[in-house]
Amino acid sequence: MQPFQTILFAADFSDNSKEAFRAACWLGVENKTRLVVLHVAEPTFVPQEPVCFGQLTVQFLPADPDKAHHDELKQKLREFYTPDHPLDVAYRTSQGNAAAEILRVAKEIGSDLIVTGTHGRTGLRWLLAGSVATSVLQGATCPVLALRAAEQPRQAKEIRVILHPTDFSHDSEAALRVARGLAREHGARLM
């Protein structure tokens, strides 16, 4: 299988994200893969005008953070997400809706894989907060690897089994091609 040329990694500084970063690095090949680490900051909102007593609503406008804020975030990204082997890594920050920004940047850089951690929210927490990973999975035009970290950190092991769930759609067929290539490359069983 041809190595991934451009992997977009969605970074949120969580433990799940750290585990997913290890997987993204593991899929990268020195001198053949560019890994783009992207952190999307939630926008800060400021009131449009002073609020008067009895006013029913307040309009809020997004406030653009200054360059120093983005530079500080990039430095934190470099410290938190350092590959364990030589890899071409670029660090980027953005602001806005996380899923929309991840999809926009993936298209902009021509990503052939998006890697993200998932928090496994369920019930009311998922209903209220939604899932960035689910939105990315639904909107991506390239393969997406969404990983949820184990309760306790695992040692890196060889891949023995790759599971490919399918709905027999065109997108599922494309994912199957990637899964087959990874299975061949790593001598794993494809299920």
Q: Are residues 170 and 96 in the same domain?
A: no
Reading the block at residue 131, the tokens are 């899932």
What is the rounded average pLDDT of the residues 115-139?
71
Question: Residue 172 above 90 pLDDT?
Answer: no
Q: 89 with 8: CB under 8 angstroms?
A: no
Instruction: Assess whether 29 and 123 both reside in one domain.
Output: yes
Is 125 a residue whose pLDDT tops 80? no
Give the domain extent around 77.
6-45+60-156
Q: How many residues does the chain have?
A: 191
What is the crossing angle of helices 98-109 and 132-139, to 10°? 40
- Verify that 162 and 178 share a domain, yes or no: yes
Lowest-pLDDT choice from 57-61, 106-110, 168-172: 57-61
How would you classify residue 52: left for phi > 0, otherwise alpha for psi between -120 and 50, otherwise beta?
Answer: beta
Q: Is the pLDDT of residue 134 over 50?
A: yes
Does residue 104 surpass a pLDDT of 80? Answer: yes
Mark whether 70 and 98 lie in a shared domain.
Answer: yes
Name the token pair of 164: 């490919």
Residue 189 is assigned to a structural domain of this protein = yes
Residue 116 to residue 139: CA distance in whole angstroms: 14
Count of domains for the chain: 2
Task: Tell me if 114 is assigned to some domain.
Answer: yes
Domain membership of residue 55 (yes or no) is no
Q: Are residues 183 and 131 in the same domain?
A: no
- Does 148 lie in the same domain as 81? yes
Q: Is the pLDDT of residue 52 over 80?
A: no
The confidence band for 48, taking pLDDT boundaries of 50, 70 and 90, is: low
Residue 88 lies inside a defined structural domain of this protein: yes
- Give the whole-angstrom CA distance, residue 42 versus residue 71: 16
Same domain, 18 and 104: yes
Together in a domain, 164 and 128? no
- Residue 104's H or E segment, with its range, is helix 98-109
Residue 125: HSE in the Cβ half-sphere, 13 Å Cα cutoff: 4
User: To the nearest whole percent, how much of the chain has pLDDT over 90?
Assistant: 30
Which has more confidence, 149 or 140? 140
Q: Whole-number mean pLDDT of the chain?
A: 81
Regarding whether 84 and 104 lie in a shared domain, the answer is yes
Q: Are residues 67 and 134 in the same domain?
A: yes
